[in-house]
């Protein structure tokens, strides 16, 4: 039969899963057994090692902030250069929609395409999590049948592919990585993705992306995505076509609109990423400095306490020797 002491040890190792038949018999063992598993206070060596590691992290965050600061101006210039062309195309599409009396449905039915745009790297605040949160909400609404129809996803960016693989992996048609790059997006690099996106067949679409407000803030938007079917259904017979073929011209125009919009969104996302990374690394550097101050104070207090204890022991020992003499 298992002894009481072995039963107590077995109970502690398995988190008290086994109950004693006589709980009162365990009271006498409390003096020798501590089930709370309290941690000892950190030693001076451990605190000093922690201070050293935090200082190393502070150097990294400070360097990343400086790098983001130097890259921010170039990212803003690339975004501002492409902004007028995108706004002009968007105004032209608005005119076509107004002539046709077209409006996007609040609750789209049929096949819906969700395009999620995130960054390639992290450490930039809530830039990617805010986009993924909206896509997860849409996926949950379709899963609970709050929205009729079917939905598929196109994930653009490394963080979208990583963050949405569990919620949207079954309905993801394709994903693309490495669009922005370290130095920002290039129009030549996004053309294959834009061509594939323009050839997608869907009834309605939504582009989930971030909008640049200033260096400290941004806004996550759900932008309606015009499909090729919707563009062909617009009453655009009042316009002239050089090739004489209306469908071919509108198809080329849809590809061009998709490419310009995607490049503009990528340039804007890259600008937001650099700005938010600069802010995040600045906050991380300040937090590391505050943590170093607290750890240094803790180290000095414990060091002083050890010195005081040693002095007290020496004085007590000297007093005891004097009494013996």
Q: Could you count the other beta carbons within 10 Å of the beta carbon of residue 282?
A: 16
Domains assigned to the chain: 73-236+245-280 (3.40.1380.10)
CA distance 266 to 204: 21
For every one of its 325 residues, what pLDDT tens digit does the chain have, with 9 covering 90 and above?
A: 444 334 334 344 434 333 334 444 434 444 443 444 444 457 888 999 999 999 999 999 999 999 999 998 888 888 888 888 888 888 877 877 776 666 666 666 788 999 999 998 888 989 999 999 999 999 998 888 777 778 999 999 999 989 998 889 889 999 998 887 777 888 888 899 999 998 888 888 899 999 999 888 899 999 988 888 888 777 555 666 666 677 777 888 888 889 999 999 999 999 999 999 999 999 999 999 999 999 999 999 989 988 999 999 999 888 888 887 7
CA distance 187 to 197: 15
CA angle 210, 212, 214 (to 5 degrees): 140
**How far is CA 168 from each of CA 113, 227, 255, 324, rounded to the nearest angstrom?**
12, 21, 26, 82
Predicted local confidence at residue 169, as pLDDT:
85
Q: Are 254 and 231 in contact (CB under 8 A)?
A: yes
Looking only at the bridges linking them, the beta strands covering 172-176 and 111-117 are: unpaired
> Containing H/E element for 139?
helix 127-143
């Amino acid at each position: 039969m298992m002894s009481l002491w072995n039963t107590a040890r077995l109970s502690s190792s398995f988190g008290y899963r086994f109950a004693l038949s006589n709980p009162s018999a365990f009271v006498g063992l409390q003096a020798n057994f501590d089930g709370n598993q309290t941690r000892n206070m950190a030693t001076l060596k451990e605190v000093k090692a922690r201070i050293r590691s935090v200082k190393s992290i502070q150097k990294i965050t400070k360097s990343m902030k400086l790098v983001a600061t130097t890259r921010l101006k170039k990212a803003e210039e690339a975004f501002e250069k492409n902004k007028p062309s995108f706004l002009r195309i968007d105004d032209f599409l608005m005119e076509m929609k107004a002539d046709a009396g077209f409006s996007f449905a609040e609750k789209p039915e049929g096949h819906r395409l969700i395009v999620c745009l995130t960054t390639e790297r992290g450490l930039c605040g809530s830039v990617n999590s805010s986009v993924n949160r909206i896509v997860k909400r849409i996926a949950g609404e379709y899963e609970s049948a709050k929205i009729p129809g079917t939905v598929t996803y196109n994930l653009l960016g490394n963080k979208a592919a990583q963050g949405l693989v569990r919620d949207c992996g079954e309905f993801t048609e394709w994903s693309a990585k490495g669009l922005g790059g370290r130095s920002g997006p290039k129009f030549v690099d996004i053309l294959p993705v834009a061509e594939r996106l323009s050839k997608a067949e869907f009834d309605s679409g939504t582009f989930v992306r971030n909008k640049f407000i200033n260096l400290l803030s941004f806004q996550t938007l759900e932008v309606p995505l015009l499909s090729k079917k919707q563009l062909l259904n617009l009453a655009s017979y009042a316009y002239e076509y050089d090739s004489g073929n209306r469908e071919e011209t509108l198809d080329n125009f849809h590809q061009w609109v998709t490419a310009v919009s995607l490049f503009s969104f990528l340039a804007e996302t890259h600008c937001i990423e650099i700005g938010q990374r600069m802010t995040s690394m600045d906050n991380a550097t300040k937090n590391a400095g505050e943590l170093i101050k607290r750890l240094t104070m803790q180290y000095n207090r414990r060091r002083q306490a050890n010195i005081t204890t040693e002095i007290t022991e020496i004085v007590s020992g000297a007093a005891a020797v004097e009494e013996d003499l």
